[in-house]
Amino acid sequence: MPLTADALDELRALLGPEGVLSEPAALFTYDADAMTLERVAPDVVALPRSTDEVAAVMLWARAHGLPVTPRGAGTGLAGGCTCETGGVSLSLNRMDRVLRVDHERLFAWVQPGLVNLWLSQQLAPAGLYFAPDPASQQVSTIGGNVSTNAGGPHCLKYGVTLNHVLGVTVVLEDGTSVTLGGEACDAPDFDLASVVIGSEGTTAVVTAVCVRLLPVPEDVQTMLFDFESVEDACHTVSRVIAEGIVPAAMEIMDRHTVGLVEAWLQMGLPTDAAALLLIEVDGPAVSLPAQVERIGAIAREWRARSRRVAKDAAERALLWKGRKSAFGAYGRTASGFYIMDGVVPRTKLAEALATIYRLAEARGLEAGNVFHAGDGNLHPHVLFDAKSERQQQDALEVSHEILRMCIRFGGTISGEHGVGIEKRPMMAELFGADDLAVMERVRAAFDPARRLNPGKILPGGAGCGEAHAHGRAPAQLGGTAFRPDAEGPWI
């Protein structure tokens, strides 16, 4: 049901005219995140500037019976901020300030729309930084990172976003605002902040975040190895960790990915290698040479053909550039591709990769891989011709088979991108009905009306009422479709 002019005027009175978007052309730009397969434009976009304004929007939406879907930068890869059932897209982008930094106690309060990288850039003169570093960090917001519990290359050593959030201020569905957790490292009450973190906007709207800060490591060493087999690269990863060395990052790119990146950037990468393994260690300068040497020895034992150690910051940035350009390289060659986000135990990496190639090949499709090898977090990409319905369907089925393989191998269906719309059907394959019912009850304790991001995460569950009220049924699909024409400024 379209919103009445009176209802829109009420919202403008709350947020000011520039805080409300209702023109179809503007709504069109909010109809998806980076998973462009599923597009639904919201009825209205609200752009609050404060916790009080978020609360006012929640009450306004409640009065008009509208669902509310929080949105950060829209870089999510699971359809999390897509307004599947219409209603309000609540964009937190105008709340993008660092509110307070405590240099002594090493925390900062920030607004949710702050871009991840901007925080570390602002902290750099003080020798501090925010550790979670999703590859989208130039664009994605702290609120989005908190709500998806984002990971990133350096989360192997430092942990995911959850490990770097001390507290959150949130607005609930009924417009109340509350702070969960806080500046102290531990509190005796139930850890409700941890329920909100990773709940993908289904429990509350995050309006401020107390983040833990770390001192910038004294020294960093970055190495690149190339292997004749992906298995040898994977064995090197397992061996390094088994020896008690925890690098800051361990990332693998397979031959397919290396070829595409090299064709694009001409960095001198060895395109005949079956896999490149990038390993970074950081910490006190005195501790690094021994780690570099031991890692080199392990890689040699697993038949690494060569090792390159970055001489300075410029060379380190170059080595990372190859890794971080992988998504863009896929976009240049295929008219469509699915990106998945599954996890397998590290010891199963080699077998998992062989299975992925086989599954894609069986349907005549190409698959590439670039992934956080240290924590077994795979990002298989299945390439397809976007003009071919058949290929698209095949790629979708391969993606489901890959996620099933992750479950079978003792892993899980999302390492960091979240469930959103994309992996919702797979939740019932990973969890039993009882588990899902408990999750639903936890969610309902926060949002009994199921008005916040309805229909996401739990299969066939919460929010369907709103969907029917708006005459739209939540879609059931899987896989993340990327098309070059839908690309943003990806790194």
CB of 285 to ligand FAD, least distance (A): 27
147 is a site residue for ligand FAD (CB under 6 A): yes
69 is a site residue for ligand FAD (CB under 6 A): yes
Query: Footprint of ligand FAD on residues 373-432 (CB under 6 A)?
Result: 416-418, 420
Binding window for ligand FAD (CB under 6 A); candidates: 7-15, 150-158, 229-237, 261-269: 150-158
Strands 336-339 vs 481-482: parallel, antiparallel or unpaired:
antiparallel
* 27, 81, 233, 329: which one binds ligand FAD (CB under 6 A): 81
Name which of 359 and 373 has its Cβ closer to ligand FAD: 373
135 is a site residue for ligand FAD (CB under 6 A): yes
343 is a site residue for ligand FAD (CB under 6 A): no
Binding window for ligand FAD (CB under 6 A); candidates: 76-84, 177-185, 214-222, 440-448: 76-84
Q: C-alpha distances in angstroms, 423 versus 79, 135, 151, 428?
A: 9, 20, 17, 10
With beta carbons less than 8 A apart as the criterion, state whether 147 and 199 touch. yes
CB of 490 to ligand FAD, least distance (A): 4
144 is a site residue for ligand FAD (CB under 6 A): yes
325 is a site residue for ligand FAD (CB under 6 A): no
CB of 109 to ligand FAD, least distance (A): 14
* 120, 148, 412, 414: which one binds ligand FAD (CB under 6 A): 148
140 is a site residue for ligand FAD (CB under 6 A): yes
* 57, 114, 192, 205: which one binds ligand FAD (CB under 6 A): 205
Name which of 256 and 417 has its Cβ closer to ligand FAD: 417
Question: Which residues are within 8 A (CB) of 93 and not within 5 positions of it... i.e. 6 or more apart?
Answer: 47, 71, 72, 73, 113, 141
Q: C-alpha distances in angstroms, 127 versus 123, 130, 207, 216?
A: 7, 11, 26, 5
Binding window for ligand FAD (CB under 6 A); candidates: 57-65, 136-144, 258-266, 387-395: 136-144
CB of 286 to ligand FAD, least distance (A): 30
User: Which amino acid is located at 420 in the chain?
Assistant: G
Give the integer Cα–Cα distance in Å for 293 and 372.
22
Give the integer Cα–Cα distance in Å for 321 and 255.
16
Structure tokens at 452: 């916040």
Give the integer Cα–Cα distance in Å for 144 and 198.
9
Give the integer Cα–Cα distance in Å for 98 and 252.
34
Question: Which residues are within 8 A (CB) of 192 and not within 5 positions of it... i.e. 6 or more apart?
Answer: 180, 181
141 is a site residue for ligand FAD (CB under 6 A): yes
264 is a site residue for ligand FAD (CB under 6 A): no
Other C-beta atoms closer than 10 Å to the C-beta of 393 total 12
CB of 54 to ligand FAD, least distance (A): 9
Q: C-alpha distances in angstroms, 336 versus 324, 365, 386, 390, 478?
A: 19, 12, 5, 13, 14
CB of 303 to ligand FAD, least distance (A): 29
Per the DSSP assignment, residues forming a β-bridge with 224 are 278, 308
With beta carbons less than 8 A apart as the criterion, state whether 66 and 173 touch. no
Name which of 201 and 454 has its Cβ closer to ligand FAD: 201
Name which of 86 and 235 has its Cβ closer to ligand FAD: 86
Element (H, E) at 291: helix 288-301
Give the integer Cα–Cα distance in Å for 300 and 93.
48
Strands 88-91 vs 44-46: parallel, antiparallel or unpaired:
parallel
Structure tokens at 329: 């390289």
**Phi and psi for 350 in degrees, rounded to 5?**
-60, -45
With beta carbons less than 8 A apart as the criterion, state whether 99 and 119 touch. no
Binding window for ligand FAD (CB under 6 A); candidates: 7-15, 198-206, 300-308, 400-408: 198-206
Binding window for ligand FAD (CB under 6 A); candidates: 172-180, 201-209, 311-319, 406-414: 201-209
Binding window for ligand FAD (CB under 6 A); candidates: 43-51, 75-83, 123-131, 351-359: 75-83
User: In terms of Cα–Cα distance, which of 10, 81, 91 is closest to 47?
Assistant: 91
352 is a site residue for ligand FAD (CB under 6 A): no
Q: Which residues sit at the interface with ligand FAD, rule CB under 6 A? A: 33-34, 69-77, 80-81, 92, 112, 134-136, 140-141, 143-145, 147-148, 150-152, 200-201, 205-206, 327, 416-418, 420, 453, 490
